[in-house]
Structure 1
């Protein structure tokens, strides 16, 4: 199961830039603009299955892995730790040389562990990793533009959200993010 441990520290678009793009000159909607941009980033990240800005994730599995474990979201930049637990014992961190890994968009981790250790059987494996660009300057311009467009769309259509109505993602956003979608076979 994948769990986001630490969300991105910043948003890709500074609040002042988003306000200027939407022609908003007052401060009473700052919280709403922050919310719509976070929502836009989350939607784009889920559609692309990759992290835009640096964030920490963990993958926990309860069965002994029989091969590589794919890491999501993509654009993995580091494997921070791999911990195994046997029985009710305290988890122990695997050494770097006991881990095979590939970073990037198609990241995976492979570990070879015995089913038992002493009298205890394998209970879980937890992989902590970081994904996403260090800052918004490292993101492609068209992905940033997609965040602008989707944030503006959510801001303009905020009344429909209050009425629990479906608001589709604009085709222009889909067109901008399409080249970054990962195709898996």
Structure 2
């Protein structure tokens, strides 16, 4: 299984000015944008950590997900949430020739934690022996920061601030995320059963 981001979050969608206010850098801090590159990098790092911990995509972007077999021929849980749309399902044979699966043969079952691609018939498109399937989809809570749930947005701010405060250190003594961040993320974590199969 391989999940690849096809697009990245544009800098304009990141809450850099809100993060500057959160750090209280307005007073006595040059507002010439010279620190924006650092603040943006810290926000991106915090977002990546929060998304990795929860399996939730905060800001909308496109993904390509490749796998060699369905866990269940009737439905397959997608690797991240929330998923807005499945744009294409491509079936590749062992010679790397691709055919696009009929969109009428599958549908998206939306879910906050475990969205799925499901068969709209007897089974999902058949993956040939030695071949693979590539599912293209868009995921995320929305294109702008105000659409991100408040607790997840706050977790990103707290974690990015933690990174900012410890930016000169080679390694963190405690390791891991601050407790306040973990508490905010707890309800968003996906509980996987049966190894993340058809559940």
For normalisation by structure 2, the TM-score amounts to 0.79
Q: 1:113 aligns with which of 105, 126, 150?
A: 126
Quickly say closer, same or farther: Cα 1:63–1:141, change in 2 above 3 A. closer
CA distance in 1, matches of 2:55, 2:90: 24
Q: Superposed, which structure 2 residues align to 1:78-93 within 5 Å?
A: 78-88=85-95, 90-93=97-100
> What is the CA distance between 1:152 and its match in structure 2?
0.7
RMSD: 2.2
**Structure with more strand by fraction:** 1
> What is the CA distance between 1:46 and its match in structure 2?
0.6
Secondary structure of the residue aligned to 1:59 is strand
Does 1:179 pair with 2:177?
Answer: no
Q: Which runs of 5+ in 1 are unaligned?
A: 116-120
1:64/1:124 contact within 8 Å kept: no
1:148 equivalent in structure 2: 157
Does 1:127 pair with 2:127?
Answer: no
2:105 equivalent in structure 1: 98
Deviations 1:136-185 (A, max 9, x none): 2222212111111111110001111xx24454311111111111112122
Q: 1:169 aligns with which of 171, 177, 199?
A: 177
Secondary structure of the residue aligned to 1:113 is coil
2:68/2:131 contact within 8 Å kept: yes
For normalisation by structure 1, the TM-score amounts to 0.85
Q: Which runs of 5+ in 2 are unaligned?
A: 119-123, 194-199
1:50/1:74 contact within 8 Å kept: yes
1:63/1:122 contact within 8 Å kept: no
CA distance in 1, matches of 2:62, 2:127: 28
Does 1:71 pair with 2:72?
Answer: no
Does 1:36 pair with 2:42?
Answer: yes
